[in-house]
Structure 1
Amino acid sequence: KQAGLKVEKEKSIPLIFEEVKLESGYRIDLLVEDKLVIELKSVEMLSELHFAQTLTYLRLGKFKLGLLLNFNSVLLKEGIRRVVNKL
């Protein structure tokens, strides 16, 4: 926000299945400029479940790029994983 970017916290993504719409099906931790999904974690190790969760958010919101950040690592750069949807 300090850099002038639009940032939304806890952005709700509706889930639509067979014409039934659930308004608060999923919540993205951070959505930057309506393009970048940032999912924040503090776990011992990122798992495939975390990756799948972020990819689900990308697919439901029709976003292209996401970052999965794990703050429980010695070096922050070791806790960053880029997630891409259909590129």
Structure 2
Amino acid sequence: MGYLYKDLSDKIYDCLFTVHRALGPGLLESIYELCLKKELEDAGLFVEQQKPVPLTYKGIIFETGYRIDLMVDKKIILELKAVETMNPVYQAQLLTYLKLSEMKLGLVVNFNVALIKNGITRVILT
């Protein structure tokens, strides 16, 4: 079985490495979000920032206040963090966003690490 959205994922990883190499750890999540959005767009990708995610329950649509940090090419959700310790709730949060948006792939990215490859968790909705 192939790697889901391999080419797109590779571009995203390149952008993550570029931003982390330039800024390093220790900044606010919002700074990484802005810089990553710019890097992704410079790579020719379509990026939606702080995209609202409504919840439909029994046919009623609720504007819940959930927001996706970055959605890339309407295929991959990026949930960005700048935390000392990753918490499993971040993956659960991303899974919820994947379900609500009917998407299949997301990345939880913690920029507060020495090596960004150690801060990326791939989440696939099965």
Runs of 4+ aligned residues of structure 1 deviating over 4 Å after TM superposition are none
Unaligned runs of 5+ in 1: none
Q: CA deviation at 1:18?
A: 1.9
Partners of 2:101 and 2:48 lie apart in 1 by 14
Q: Which moved more, 1:20-29 or 1:48-57?
A: 20-29
| 1:30 matched residue in structure 2 | 70
Calculate the aligned-residue CA RMSD, in Å. Answer: 1.0
Structure with a larger share of its residues in helix:
2
Deviation at 1:46, TM superposition (A): 1.2
* Corresponding residue SS for 1:81: strand
Q: Counterparts in 2 of 1:8-23, with a 5 A limit? A: 8-23=48-63
Task: Among all aligned residue pairs of Structure 1 and Structure 2, give the percentage whose two residues are the same amino acid.
Answer: 49
Tell me the amino acid that sits aligned with residue 35 of structure 1: K
**Larger-gyration structure (1/2):** 2
SS in 1 for 2:54: strand
Residue ranges of structure 2 left out of the alignment (5+ in a row): 1-40
> Which structure has the highest strand share of the two?
1
* Aligned match of 1:56: 96
Aligned residue among 29, 37, 46 for 1:6: 46
TM-score in terms of structure 1 length? 0.92
Aligned partners of 1:15 and 1:25 also within 8 Å: no
Structure 2-normalised TM-score? 0.65
